[in-house]
Chains A and B, each alone.
Chain A
Amino acid sequence: MQEPAQVLSPAPPPRPVRPRRRFKGEWLTGYLMVMPATVLIGLFGLFPIGYAIYMSVHRWRIRKGGFIGLDNYERVLGSWGGAAAFFGGLLLILVAHWLWTTAFRGHSDWRRWARLAGALTLLSAGISIALGWGAMTEAGEARFLSGLIRTTYYGFLSVPTQIILALIIASLLFQRLRGSEFFRMVYFLPYVTPAVAGAAVYGALFSPRDERPINQLLGWFGIPPQDWLFEPDPVLELIINGVLVRWANLTGGEPIEVALSGFWAGPSLALITIIIFGIWTYTGYNAVIFLAGLGNIPKDLYEAAEIDGAGQRQRFMHITVPLLSPVTFYLTVLGFIGTFQAFTHLYVMRVPATRDAVDTASVVIFDTFYKRNDFSLAASQSIVLFVIILILTLFNQRILGGRGQ
């Protein structure tokens, strides 16, 4: 049966939309869509930062006083020249990295010179940071600047350790071991344990008393009990003195006692104990994120590598690690931001006996605000910490982010 012939009438021409009106409509819709998030972020994210800056440039001790400009920043940083040298040195590291890795990438003739320039820039950065820091510590807020050093110890000792341990744990759990779900939960548990409760238990485990678990454990290896959270001396000093005492015992001589101080003396045993707590808390969380990343790596890459004769170690180093770079970048950035802002467990675990040996920058800021009641100084300290975290994030973006893309 023949279908009735369709009467084809010419389609009405599309209603002309004036491009300008369409653009306006999209523009409006777009802004309406982002408005709620913008308002919320602005209110709870940007406004407090702006308000902190406002507080920092006023005399503000409980009640607001007059405008004092950048006086508080000068109090914190000690000298503008020193601060410029220090922060400039940090930025020079980024320049050095750019020169070393990116500059003149396509010009092999120039590459050697770029690397030489990179090395020289790095050297200048080191000198600039050292000189700048020296000038800052001479006249700046001693408590805050020492707090920054401790924050650096805390971040640089805990984040890499967390990442490495988490990667190892994730790789093991990814092998479809029996009961891997159970272990996944167990490793994640510290992350969801309330910081205060966890810190209290750690306080008992790392008690200076001889009969407490960790000191008992040391006893099995012939190591004397330690003061842990009550020990303000640098861990390096304790190790060296321990070795010297043993040496003196062996040789029958008088033990020499070494006292270390300054940045290179390293963190106190009390801070190391808290770092261990931080590692315990976040490693499981990182491992779970790494597990998700491992699941996204195509299996055929491993199969191809296996066919080409790559061993397990080579597959891990040349496939797993590079392809997990975005996850590593994410965890590193979050890790550093988190450690530089860490507060609760540090505050709970600190004891007067260590004086300020575990007071990181955020603890110092809290004390400046609530105990010293100097709101504006605390605000300026917060802004300085904020800038440092920002620079650190830039570092991560530059060094790890590039690999992740």
Chain B
Amino acid sequence: MKKFFVLLAALGLTFGLAQDVESLDPSGQTVMFWHQHSSERLAGLEAIIDDFNANNEWGITVEHEYQGGYGDIFQKMLPILGTSSTPNLVVGYQNQAATYAIADGMVDMTPFVDSPTWGLTAEEKADFFPGFYNADIFPSFDNQRFGFPPNRSMEVLYFNAEWINELYNAGAISFAGAPKTPEQFAEAACAATENPFSKAQGSRSLGYQLSTDASRFASWTFAFGGNVYDYDANEYSYDSPEAIEAMTFLQGLFDEGCADFVTERYGDQTDFGAGNLLFTVGSSSGLPFYKSAVDEGADFTWGVAAIPHTTDEPVQNIYGASVSIPTGHSAEANLATWLFIKHYTSVASQDTWARASNYFPVRQSVANEMGDYFAENIAYQTAFNLLPYGTTEPPVPGYDFVRDLIEGEMAAIMDGSDVEATLALANGEANLILDDQLSAMQ
């Protein structure tokens, strides 16, 4: 009997999914949204939701719940995948969506996005930054779309512009302004270690603080012209010549005493603000925090720039969580959820959201609305202008586990381990993890 009901439910679900999207009626649906936003971002999100609830023509109601950080949400989702206990909409990184998809826990949004009735027009699609728009289409899952981007951030170089000027004027470095190549970066970092900033609030003086983070590994590898993932072979490439070159470069900075680890939470931000640190690399979403650190600290002129690169053009690491529709709900509810996503990523909502969250909007035309904001936030505009040079980290299941592995090996390299041997071993292990993950799909 139980098996019969399970079969019946499965048939119902299949029927629901197979129903023609165009003929669905989303009227009166309630959409539950799980997210990680708090304080100012939450206020911005609530404004967007309130606007949708008040003005949508189908009487759809969006409810939202803060469910902790990305990790908390991921942990809450795993045990309930495929059941009706899942929310209608959930925030998650691409690799998390891939993990959900292994358990058939994700709805492919392609029919909604492409629907003549409910979807986006060709013009609207073209308005999205291509890199952002395509990041949630998963080649390893038959190009299904398991997410849609409402925002993105980018890894940028934060630099103390005044200190660089001092170094240049004192003849300690050979260039003015932000470093463009790794050689310039190393030159300035080492010079800063020897020549403290005039406004520094402490005796410590350092060129660069590195947080052992897989995204930082990826950013430096991108900047050296490589990638951490070989999309043709569908495997990690942490031991590529570019990755080896990037890590050797950073190891050299550590060996010469020009760089050190970030040893306290946001310690690099604090040291940067106090004028004790010339460079740090971090997410562009941290811009307001850097501003506060500088304003409350040594109060100097600072800026953001592309990660110093060996390539002709910068190659910037762009990341950010998307929103996904978990399975376990009716086709009407999924459509209602999509209609909210469409509203969330509309030009007007993106303008509100970018200002509230300090994330980048995902649509190019939003920039036209944000002139006043750009004028007030020059660093934000500088970073925004780097968006065309963006690339992303791999959207594969188990990436969190690989990240931990790479972070440990990155620390070992900075402590003096042989770069080539360490990365060869790490890459082998990363690919074993990937194989292990992908085997679950078969």
Contacts and interface: CB of A to CB of B under 8 A. Distances in A.
Given A352-B407, A352-B410, A370-B75, A230 B401 contact: no
B208 to A, nearest CB: 16
B282 to A, nearest CB: 16
Contacts of A318: none
Given A62-B99, A352-B408, A230 B261 contact: yes
Contacts of B436: 372, 374
A373 B404 contact: no
Contacts, number: 75
A353 interface: yes
B424 interface: no
A255 interface: no
A62 B103 contact: yes
Interface in A347-377: 351-356, 367, 370-374
B102 A62 contact: yes
B404 A371 contact: yes
Interface in B84-118: 99-100, 102-105
Nearest to A227: B263
A208 B263 contact: yes
Nearest to B202: A211
A184 interface: no
A373 B99 contact: yes
Nearest to A373: B99
Residue with the highest number of chain B CB atoms closer than 10 Å, among A204, A356, A371: A371
Contacts of A209: 263-264, 267
Contacts of A207: 263-264
A370 B408 CA distance: 18
A207 B100 CA distance: 38
A288 B10 CA distance: 57
Given A61-B440, A355-B412, A373-B102, A203 B264 contact: yes
Contacts of A24: none
B213 interface: yes
Contacts of A372: 398, 401, 433, 436
Nearest to A375: B78
Given A204-B264, A352-B408, A352-B411, A370 B78 contact: yes
B322 interface: no
A299 interface: no
Given A371-B398, A373-B398, A62 B265 contact: no
Contacts of B99: 62, 373
Given A207-B264, A373-B398, A353 B102 contact: no
A207 B262 CA distance: 10
Contacts of B397: 373
A352 B75 contact: no
B321 interface: no
A21 interface: no
B265 A203 contact: yes
B104 A63 contact: yes
Nearest to A65: B440
Nearest to A377: B436
A62 B408 CA distance: 26
Contact of A62 (B261, B409, B440): B440
A213 to B, nearest CB: 13
B401 A353 contact: no
| Residue among B213, B263, B437 facing the most chain A CB atoms (10 A cut-off) | B263
B50 interface: no
Contacts of B105: 62
Interface in B249-267: 261, 263-265, 267
14 contacts: A62-B99, A63-B82, A203-B264, A208-B261, A208-B263, A209-B264, A353-B212, A353-B261, A353-B415, A370-B71, A370-B75, A370-B78, A371-B398, A371-B400
Closest 8 CB pairs of A and B: A352-B407, A355-B408, A371-B401, A62-B103, A352-B212, A61-B440, A353-B411, A63-B103
